[in-house]
Amino acid sequence: MDELRDGLVVEDIALTHARTPGAIRAALARMLPAEDNVRRADAEASLRERLAGSYDWEGVLRVRLAESGTSYWSVEDDAVLTAAWTDGGRLAELAVRLQVGETAVAKRYLELGVAESYAAVVDRLGAGPGGIMEMRHALAREADSVRLHVLVAIGPDGRLHVSAHPTPEAAESVREDLFGDDEDNGLRWAIASRTPGSLDGLTRSSEAAWHRPRGARHNESPTDSSPKE
């Protein structure tokens, strides 16, 4: 909204956010009441006129997104999450305060890069008893208890080695004991962390550092605020 108030046109706003003008116009249209039936092409002018007064565009956007099953994250919401993470807030209380589910709060922490996993969120902020996050956390911990770290290596002489270990450090130790720590010795190796039946997980190899085979999703936003899912 600051760009509109400062007089920038849609094309300039699109360049600033690396979006197309059409995408910006669509975002602006969602900040107008659906019952007003404002055309997308007219959204910019309509918003400029309304912003001259005390127009609650965030309130309208919250309603529009809620109608599609999506929630809204404002800059202020993110600040609340960041402060709670530092100050020892509780997940259930944050969900009530921000009027979203615990899962949505945990997901936002992941999108902000504050936490690495849902389990990390619950470890730090707890979860409501009997809720989805508590159950997910229990399942994640159960999976961790049976996770194996499999070392697969092919030595310079073509010799194949396969072994399973309780920790990645144990797998690394065996690799070094068998083949040394010289990365230029022609050894090809990988350490895959997997739970039984899972195809996804962390992998470290001679070609790459720890990574997940399946990429993370990026949460795009045309402004400084983001939809909650």
Structural domain containing residue 22: 2-68
Report field, pTM of the whole predicted structure over 0.75? no
Q: What is the pLDDT of residue 213?
A: 46
Structural domain contains residue 16:
yes
Q: What is the pLDDT of residue 90?
A: 94
Same domain for 25 and 64, yes or no, is: yes
Same domain for 86 and 138, yes or no, is: yes
Q: Which of 144, 164, 192 is the last residue of a domain?
A: 144
Question: Which residue, 160, 163, 186, 188, is CA-closest to 173?
Answer: 163
**Percent above pLDDT 70 for the chain:** 86
Provide the number of structural domains found in the chain.
Answer: 3
Q: What is the pLDDT of residue 85?
A: 95
For 70-74, what is the mean pLDDT?
82
Q: Which of 50, 68, 86 is the last residue of a domain?
A: 68
Same domain for 107 and 124, yes or no, is: yes
Burial readout 197-224 (b: 16 or more C-beta within 10 A, e: otherwise) = eeeebbbbeeeeeeeeeeeeeeeeebbe
Q: Identify the H or E element spanning 25.
A: helix 21-29
For 187-191, what is the mean pLDDT?
86
Same domain for 84 and 140, yes or no, is: yes
CA distance 9 to 3: 8
- Tens digits of per-residue pLDDT, 89-127? 999 999 999 888 898 899 899 888 898 888 889 999 998
Structural domain contains residue 210:
no
Structural domain contains residue 211:
no
Same domain for 135 and 85, yes or no, is: yes
Same domain for 62 and 84, yes or no, is: no
Same domain for 91 and 138, yes or no, is: yes
